[in-house]
Amino acid sequence: MKKFVNKPDRFVDEMLEGVLAAYPEQLASCSGNMRNIVREKKGDKVALVSGGGSGHLPLFMGYVGEGLLDGCAVGGVFQSPSADQIYEITKHVDSGKGVIYLYGNYSGDIMNFEMSSEMAEMDNIKTAHVVGNDDVASAPKGEEHKRRGVAGIFYIYKTAGAAAEEGADFDEVLRIAEKAKASVHTMGVALSPCIIPEVGVATFSIGENEMELGMGIHGEPGVSRTTLKSADAVTDTMMEAILADAPLSPGDEVSVLINGLGATPKEELYIIYRRVAQTLASKSVKVFHAYVGEFATSMEMTGFSISLCRLDAELKRLLAKSARSPFFEQAQL
Residues that bind its own copies (CB under 8 A): 2-6, 11-12, 14-19, 21-23, 54-55, 57-58, 191-192, 194, 208, 228, 230-232, 234, 262-274, 277, 290, 292-294, 297, 299-300, 302, 304, 322, 324, 327, 329-331
Phi, psi of 38, deg, nearest 5: -135, 165
Task: State whether residue 172 is helix, strand or coil.
Answer: helix
Q: Nearer to its own copies by C-beta: 96 or 293?
A: 293
CB of 230 to its own copies, least distance (A): 5
Distance linking the first and last C-alpha atoms of the chain: 42
Catalytic residue among 129, 145, 218, 289: 218
CB of 244 to its own copies, least distance (A): 22
Q: Nearer to its own copies by C-beta: 77 or 100?
A: 77
Q: At what angle do helices 153-165 and 170-183 cross, to 10 degrees?
A: 160
Q: Nearer to its own copies by C-beta: 129 or 274?
A: 274
Q: Nearer to its own copies by C-beta: 313 or 331?
A: 331
User: Measuring CA to CA, which residue among 314, 322, 195, 173 is closest to residue 263?
Assistant: 195
185 is catalytic: no
Q: Is the dihedral of CA 30, 35, 36, 38 positive or negative?
A: positive
145 is catalytic: no
Beta strands in 81-123 (DSSP E): 99-104
In this structure, the number of other CB atoms found within 10 A of the CB of residue 192 comes to: 21
> Sheet holding 302-310: strands in order across?
224-227, 210-213, 184-192, 302-310, 253-260, 286-293
Torsion angle, CA of 36/122/43/320, rounded to 10 degrees?
90
CB of 284 to its own copies, least distance (A): 15
CB of 179 to its own copies, least distance (A): 25
User: Measuring CA to CA, which residue among 76, 59, 73 is closest to residue 13?
Assistant: 76
CB of 131 to its own copies, least distance (A): 25
CB of 58 to its own copies, least distance (A): 7
Q: Report the alpha-carbon distance of residue 22 to residue 149 in Å, rounded.
A: 29
- Positions annotated as catalytic residues are 56, 218
